[in-house]
Structure 1
Amino acid sequence: MKHLILGSTGFIGAALFRTMRSSGLDVVGADVRDSTEMPFIRFDALSPDFESLVREAKPDVVINCTGAASVPDSFTAPLYDYTLNTARIAEMLEAIRLCAPTAKFVHFSSAAVYGNPDVSPVAETCRVKPLSPYGWHKYHAENICKEYYEMFGVKTISLRVFSAFGPGLKKQIFWDIYNKALKSKTLELFGTGYETRDFIYVDDVAKAVMCLIEKGCFDGRAVNVANGIASTIRCAATSLLSSLGLQKTIEFSGSERLGDPLNWQADIQYLSSLGYTPDFTLEQGLEKVAAWMHEQ
């Protein structure tokens, strides 16, 4: 099978490209930025021609790793976020319907659709209640994927990825901790420190994607992609500093950041039933992140 990765130069897209290529799979990258990885197709950021792209690549699987990825920015520029995270997905699906109707479509959604879940661990059947425009737009895109399956038979699956991390991610909590640690002996972070996240190392995200492509059901469903383990922000921050070999004091402001959930832990029963098991614990992943940060 030929795999087309849209957004192949981004954090997850690049890791997926490397993992699939090293596994011997036929993979083509595509993005709005140039890449040294080959084969590669560049497309226009403002008016992408997905139909021409799909015709050229002739994929059996299309994996969408594109989109805006900032919850705070979605409050200040909601239309831009909607365009990248919802409207573009409709354009991709239409291109597949017209040019590669038998292809599978893997869409990267987000755990942000859950907001603050009513229960924990949170299963795919639980009620969604996003806390941000970003979360709503990801959920709208899931519904479009479901629509194209129900109305046109396009094989789709949406991945509700939880807190992905790894080398190369120059944003979010671990990059924030690293930069603050370089400047001060005391680090101040949002919240109380007892908020929880379900962290998943980026190579395990790639492993989960490959497992789902091979064994998953492409019937418009949404699937949790995580490790099923809740870790506190306080413990995660302490673990990173330990891996960096830094002695710092961590303080928490007690204030919540707009759009951030309090506690996340995924029910990964469906993903596990397909044979997925993580290769990295949080601590093992942070060792690799720390090594990369030292190189910076």
Structure 2
Amino acid sequence: MSTPRTAFVTGGAGFIGLHVVRQLLEKDYKVRIFDNMFRGDRDAVARLAESGDVELIDQDVRYGGAVHAAMKGATHVVHLAAVSINKSEADPYESIDINTVGAHNVIAAAADHGVERFVLASSASVYGDPKKLPMHEDDELSPLTPYCISKRTGEDLLAYYQRRAGLSWIALRFFNVYGPGQKTTAYYTSVINHFVNRIKNGEPPVIDGKGEQSMDFIHVHDIARAVVLAMESEQSNVPVNVGTGIDTTVADLARILIDAVGADVEPIFNPRDVLVSRRAADTTRAKEVLGFVPEIAVEDGMTELIRLGG
């Protein structure tokens, strides 16, 4: 390609960000990581920077002037920076500041700079508790926490700057992301860690209720592929689910992890009332708009995670 493309990636030093940056480098993008390094992996960024195609701007999305100055010359923007869903309930003020004001700073700067494509990390949590499965992009949105509300607001702001300034965007509604390098704070990763620790100690995993709660686990490698496809897709200005379309129940997850560890234990069910929430993505639009089909089955991804971890 004659003109070099520069991707500006907020949160690029985080769990998902590092996977995205590596795939962008494979596609010959120059990458500018914008990250306050609160949770970022400085060593991993330093290794990537050795290629000469990655630079780190150690700054915060809450400062609009810093965002605007740092974005100059970027052709594409990926906005991943956010505080987690758990943190958003513990501290709604910080959550709104980073996830809503911060997102607006990045989106407004992208519109000002006339970037070719803006990819937003949105979330399946914008749907709230789904009334039906699989969850489709046109379903009613009912975000329940400041984090989820911010993600929906981010999508609305993209549509506003599309109307106002012609900004071309795709919002990717990530389902339950897992994979190597993940922090242990997310609810569903803590479930994975809890199960694995017990299984490795020869103890049975303990499941609340009948284990019918389900998630749509999507491997971080597939998430990063979807981001790169969204940067280059011909269609734009739509939200797109990124999941596998398969709802894996907590009971199924326990079985997958027991098999992966190779332990001789059976799960224990703790009989109590549990709010059974289920998640599975309708993946039709991802295939049609992005040409995206997940490559890593949950059994394979979880088994690899166990091997890497131990």
Moved more, 160-169 or 248-257: 248-257
Choose which of 145, 151, 154 in structure 1 pairs with 2:158.
Answer: 145
Equivalence map 1:177-256=2 (5 Å): 177-181=195-199, 185-190=203-208, 192-219=210-237, 221-253=238-270, 254=272, 256=274
Quick one: distance in 2 between partners of 1:105 and 1:46? 15
Q: Is the 8 A contact 1:168 1:292 kept in 2?
A: no
Confirm whether residue 92 of structure 1 aligns to residue 106 of structure 2: yes
Q: Aligned to 2:60, which of 45, 52, 67?
A: 45
Moved more, 7-16 or 182-191: 182-191
Structure 1 residue 72, shift from structure 2 partner: 2.7
Q: Distance in 2 between matches of 1:85 and 1:157?
A: 17
Give 1:1-296 correspondences, 5 Å limit.
1-33=5-37, 34=42, 35-36=45-46, 37-38=48-49, 39-45=54-60, 47-48=62-63, 49-55=66-72, 58-69=73-84, 71-98=85-112, 100-171=113-184, 172=189, 173-181=191-199, 185-190=203-208, 192-219=210-237, 221-253=238-270, 254=272, 256=274, 262-273=277-288, 274-294=290-310
Report the secondary structure of 2:132's partner residue: coil
* Structure 1 unmatched ranges of 5 or more: none
For the Cα contact (< 8 Å) 1:31–1:42, is it kept in 2? Answer: yes
Query: Which stretch has the larger CA shift, 31-40 or 9-18?
Result: 31-40
Task: Check whether the contact 1:31–1:41 (CA below 8 A) recurs between aligned residues.
Answer: yes
Report deviation, 1:178.
Answer: 2.8
Letter in 1 for 2:22: R
Could you tell me how far 1:176 is from its partner in structure 2? 3.4
- What residue identity is the alignment partner of 2:227? V
CA contact (8 A) 2:8 2:78 kept: yes
Contact 1:122-1:266 within 8 A present in 2 as well = yes
Provide closer, same or farther for how the CA distance between residues 46 and 265 of structure 1 changes in structure 2, counting only shifts above 3 A.
closer
Secondary structure of the equivalent of 1:109?
A: strand
**Once the 2 structures are TM-superposed, how far is the Cα of residue 263 of structure 1 from its aligned partner?**
0.7
Alpha-carbon distance, 1:181 to partner: 4.2
Q: Distance in 2 between matches of 1:86 and 1:267?
A: 26
Gaps of at least 5 residues in structure 2 are none
State the shift of 1:250 in Å. 3.0
Change (3 A) 1:160 1:46: closer
Q: How many residues align?
A: 286
CA distance in 2 between counterparts of 1:44 and 1:182 reads 40
Asked if the contact 1:6/1:66 (under 8 Å) is kept, the reply is yes
Q: Offset of 1:5 from its aligned partner?
A: 1.5
Change (3 A) 1:188 1:111: same
Deviation at 1:200, TM superposition (A): 0.9
